[in-house]
């Protein structure tokens, strides 16, 4: 698993603070797209049906592993905005314990960013599908 800045040097609070500086949604979208460029490249071998997230308009792949009680995720998408959204999600979840992941109020986080109301319904559903995949990975680790 490649080291990612999300969850360590780029946190959910950092993203909330930064988004608050932008007056327009166009600037916020550019910032989110730039976040996606910070994601480490996912191995091509992991871009398969096992890692594919269903319910997303774009292709999205998520892999996760638990190391010393903390979850680390590797993600990718074929769409720039979705890569950025994955970065937003990883900032909240990467490096956290399974319990922290399942207890984190992701809807409140998205509300603070004003995110869902500015996404198309299909993008919003895709974002929730990504979150569900990560939460289910955390749940499966915590029950083993």
Locus of tokens 């569900």: 132
Q: Catalytic pick from 15, 56, 62, 79?
A: 56
Question: Are 60 and 77 in contact, with CB atoms under 8 Å apart?
Answer: yes
Give Cα 86 to chain centroid, integer Å. Answer: 3
How far, in Å, CA of 69 to CA of 32, rounded?
Answer: 29
Q: Can you spell out the DSSP letters for 15-72?
A: HHHHHHH-SSHHHHHHHHHHHHTTSPPPPGGGSSTTTBPTT-SS-EEEEEEEETTEEE
Question: Are 116 and 130 in contact, with CB atoms under 8 Å apart?
Answer: no
| Catalytic annotation present for 91 | no
Active site residues: 56
């Amino acid at each position: 698993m490649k080291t990612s800045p999300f969850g360590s040097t780029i946190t959910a609070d950092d993203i909330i603070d930064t988004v608050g500086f932008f007056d327009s949604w166009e600037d916020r979208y550019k910032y989110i797209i730039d976040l996606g460029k910070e994601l480490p490249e996912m191995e091509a071998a992991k871009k398969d049906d096992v890692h594919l997230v269903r319910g997303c308009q774009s292709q999205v792949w998520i892999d996760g592993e638990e190391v010393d009680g903390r979850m680390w995720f590797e993600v990718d998408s074929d769409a720039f905005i979705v890569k950025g959204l994955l970065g937003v999600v990883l900032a909240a979840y990467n490096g956290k314990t399974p319990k922290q992941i399942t207890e984190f109020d992701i809807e409140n986080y998205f509300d603070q960013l004003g995110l869902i109301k500015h996404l198309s319904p299909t993008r919003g559903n895709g974002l929730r599908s990504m979150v569900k995949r990560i939460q289910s990975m955390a749940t499966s680790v915590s029950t083993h």
